[in-house]
Structure 1
Amino acid sequence: MRYICRYTDEVSRVKWEDVQVSYLRDVVSADAPRLETRFRACWTADSLHIRYECEDDHVVSTMTRRDEPLYEEDVVEVFLDPFGGGTTYYEFEISPRGVLFDALIHNRLDGNKDVVTSWIAEGFQAEVTKGIDDGWLVYDVRIPFADLDEAGVPHAGAVWHWNVFRIDDDRDGVRHYSAWSPTGLVNFHVPQQFGELVFVKE
């Protein structure tokens, strides 16, 4: 899978409705999920910007501190692998309250991984607002390239590996897992299934 991420001089001028939209699917079956999740992304000279638009009829979000296990409740996520090998990548999560989680992942690709939550992306930001229609949440996320260690600022034509996810609890306590590029498992840490994020500057 491939997402074309276009450059913009100023994200505040972006008309998000004109940015390429992609949809999440059930992480195992690749079927349409119970609730719709769509996202769009663009990049500026210093950051990757992602907007999630999430249909949500029951919000589960009690945690208030950075790097708490947000994945135990409702959350949207993005994994970024600028290096392409699947063994080192970055994990970013945002709760409906706007609480952040970030970690550096070392994945041995044998089912074992190290999650380094002491790693902090200092400029990582997110704002969560209600959508125009009731029952929707909008997440606006900024991830500065400067925070991604030696990855640096991508050049036009660069290709990173990535995946976009959501976890949502329904009213019956059933957890629903969705992904842009389904992994075939209730497990997001399958870098072999990451898709491509292509940086385009026109």
Structure 2
Amino acid sequence: MDREEQHVYACKRMDAEGGISGEWAELRDTVSGVKPAEWTKVRCGWTADALHIQFRCGDGHIVSDYTERDEPLYNQDVVEVFIDEAGSGTGYLELEVSPRNVVFDARIANDGQGTLGIDLSWDIEGLRTEVNETSPGEWLYDIRIPAGSFTRPLEAGQRWRVNFYRIDENPAGVREYQAWQPTGLVNFHKPARFGTLVFEN
């Protein structure tokens, strides 16, 4: 993949009674950008009240033992979203959801030199997540992040730096790291490599 390519996702406004109408975007291997062994798609939508995110994953082998909020879900199967509203690269929201619908949420401070401050005391108030196996080996993650979690109202014209990720372990114990905007290495905390989420009507 071209390292200079910057992914942009059009996040469409949702009808009050409707679902997400945005296009599915595919995740790739985060180092090489090639097609992963297990496919993953993500899409987003918004209302004035919340940001909605869906992941759809092919996964015939689940590795998910954690049961408590903010346990290190990133050591097993998980989907993740990083959101940098300001686009500064120094502070962003990290949200992870496991196949067992366990949540990890934190505020991240990133000095750009490899040092991370992880505030696990912060929880997304009113967060709703749901995970269902919709057919054998196919999983749907539904995530609703209330608008109050963000510093600005959700409205058309907003442009946020974001990235979507997945970690998946196969039966041989080999872990695969996927990203919407590949980072070029096995490290998701690369805000300079985030894509852009554009809010549209």
TM normalised by structure 1 equals: 0.94
Corresponding residue number in structure 1 for 2:189:
189
Say yes or no: does 1:78 pair with 2:81: yes
Aligned to 2:90: 87
2:132–2:141 CA contact under 8 A, matched in 1? yes
Aligned pair 1:23/2:23, yes or no? Answer: no
Q: Deviations over 1:128-184 (max 9, x none)?
A: 0012x3111100001112023xx2213211100000000001000000000000000
Q: Is the 8 A contact 2:52 2:144 kept in 1?
A: yes
Give the structure 1 partner of residue 163 of structure 2: 163
User: What do residues 84-104 of structure 1 show as CA deviations (whole Å, max 9, x unaligned)?
Assistant: 111010000000000011000
Residue 96 (1) aligns with residue 93 (2): no
Q: Deviations over 1:5-38 (max 9, x none)?
A: 000132x522x5x431100000000000001000
1 CA distance for matches of 2:12 and 2:136? 29
Q: Secondary structure at the match of 2:114?
A: coil
2: distance between equivalents of 1:160 and 1:46? 17
Return the alpha-carbon distance in structure 2 between the equivalents of residues 115 and 34 of structure 1.
30
Between the aligned partners of 2:189 and 2:80, the Cα distance in structure 1 is 11
1:13 aligns with 2:18: yes
Asked if the contact 1:9–1:45 (Cα under 8 Å) also holds between the matched residues in 2, the reply is no
By how many angstroms is 1:42 displaced?
0.2
Flag the structure with higher helix content. Answer: 1
Could you tell me how far apart the structure 2 residues matched to 1:158 and 1:28 are? 29
Give the 5 Å matches for 1:1-202. Answer: 1-10=7-16, 12-14=17-19, 16=20, 18-131=21-134, 133-148=135-150, 151-201=151-201
RMSD: 1.0
Unaligned runs of 5+ in 1: none
Which SS does the other structure have where 2:165 is aligned? strand
2:153 and 2:141 map into 1 onto residues whose CA distance is 23
Task: Give the letter for the 2:170 counterpart.
Answer: D
Q: Which runs of 4+ in 1 moved over 6 A?
A: none
Kept in 1: contact 2:46–2:154 (CA 8 A): no
Distance 1:129 1:155 in 2: 30
User: How many matched pairs?
Assistant: 195
Counterpart residue identity of residue 184, structure 2? G
Give the TM-score normalised by structure 2: 0.94
